[in-house]
Structure 1
Amino acid sequence: MTAKKSANDGSPYYVPPEPKPLPSFLLAVAVHAALLAFLAIGVSWQKVNPVSVEAEVWDMSVQTAAAPELPPEPAPEPEPQPEPAPEPPPPPPPPETVVERPAPTPDPEIALREEKKRKEEEAKKAAAEEKKRKEAEEKKREEAAEKKREEAEQKKRDEAEKKKLEEAERKKNEAAEKKKADAAAAEKKKKEAAAAKAEAAKLEKFRQEELKRMAGAMGSTGTAVKSTGPRSDGGYIAAITAAIKSATAYPGNTDVAGNPRATFRVEQLPTGEIMSVRLVKSSGVPEFDRAVENGIKKASPLPKKKDGTVERTLDVNFSMKDYD
């Protein structure tokens, strides 16, 4: 058994000494014995037969009218002597006094341990409830985050599907537009080809006619080239020379001794379009000859005279120094 702490050992608790049980036990035995004796006396007193008492009761409140005189009353008989009244019963015994035993004072160490245990259980319970609450909140946050992530993914999928449909629609429209444009381009190209073919046929026919005419003229006189020379119109010659020179690009070196010169014969239609270019006399520099020939072809159609006519055959002369 734990030793009791005294009031002088510095402890905040004071435990009084436990009372001895023997005096209390003897007192309880005496009280019970007195109670049993009182009960025996009471039972025996109740067995005495009570004395009977007879009495007449007169009602003096009733008044009657005057009655006739009555005969004289006989002498009253002697009244019986009343028996002595019985002794009053003894007062009931006082209730038994129950001596309550003082409750034992709890051990402060046990109380401290129980209080500590109770606080620990409350702390554990509070910690468990807090943990449960945090888990519920965490689960709720995770569910909200999962729902938000699913909504974002669904939105992303919807946007991707929408973009895919838009892309497919755009490609479909582009394909339709391209097909339409290709059909239009093919139709236009077909028309242009047909027009070019017709124009080429027309030009070829005209060229053949001109060649025949020129051949006939040359066969009859022998002087068609000389008679169609452009020496008679200086402005016309200058315009043709300027057009061919602006269309000619010679990247080579023009600082050559002797000033090489190339002569070309050009045949053109009445519209100024060139039918043929032939090198009559080379300059001795093939690169320069090719550059001048290409320039003549690029200058087509050539300028016309003031009256709107052209020389059908031209002798064109170009020197290398002309391109300095």
Structure 2
Amino acid sequence: MATKPATASGPYRVPKRQNGWRAFTLAVAMHAVLFFFLWGGIRWQNTEPVAVEAEVWDMTTQAAAPPPEPAPEPEPQPEPTPTPPPVEAPPPPEKIAPPQPDPEIALQKKKKEKEEKERKLAEEKRLQKLEDEKEKKKLAEEKKKQEELRLAEEKKEADKKKKLDEEKAKKLAEKKEADKLAKNREAEMRRITGAVGNGSTGSTGTAAKSTGSRVDGGYLAALRAKVQSNVAYGGAKQDIEAVFRVSQMPTGEIISVRKIKSSGNPSYDAAVENAINKSSPLPKKKDGTVERDLDLVFNMKDLP
């Protein structure tokens, strides 16, 4: 079978067979003849012959020999299977050129990529701006907090300094007042020491003076007796004296005790001051009144 070569107009093609129908007819006829012979042979073997029996008596013949068996008819050989025609290989697929990209699509893609890049850049700038503003706000708050702490510390220091100055001024004023009072008392004591010492108790070493012009002798004796009973001093007695200024309420409750003159013996001074504080409330006058301020002189020789 001849093949048609490929041309420039297209791939090669397999030409149609010219004698296809004739070959097909011959094949059908051969199969029909073969079927007929097979059918006839099978039918002939299955048909039994009609036998006619006749008895012939021959005295000389003992017995007739059996007829020989017919030879088996050879089986027909099967017709060989016709060889199928060779299958021709399919033609190779036609090479298809890849489609060329559309220039418009490429431009649109490039434009989208550029827009996406610009969008990402703008988003990064926006986030960076927010971060910078957040950091700036944080720094401003920290600076404000530090300023508030500094102002609070300065105010605290100023208040502390003001308080110290006020306390210092108060102490200085109190000292000046105490010195002034002490000088006045010393002058007054020198003027009336003799008169106070001649009280009804007959004591020569202990004196008391009030801010008034007259002091009841019995009242002074009661004051001295109560204070001296509370003095706890175990040292040797000496001819020394200490002067204390005592302020009291109308009820006799002691408001303050201040040492005006030291005896020179700190232990004795402390013992007398403690005794005065323990004696609160102090005794009253016969009329139930008290001297608000008293300068009391305590001589060590007068201790019991």
TM-score of the pair, normalised by structure 1: 0.36
TM-score of the pair, normalised by structure 2: 0.38
- Greater share of residues in helix: 1
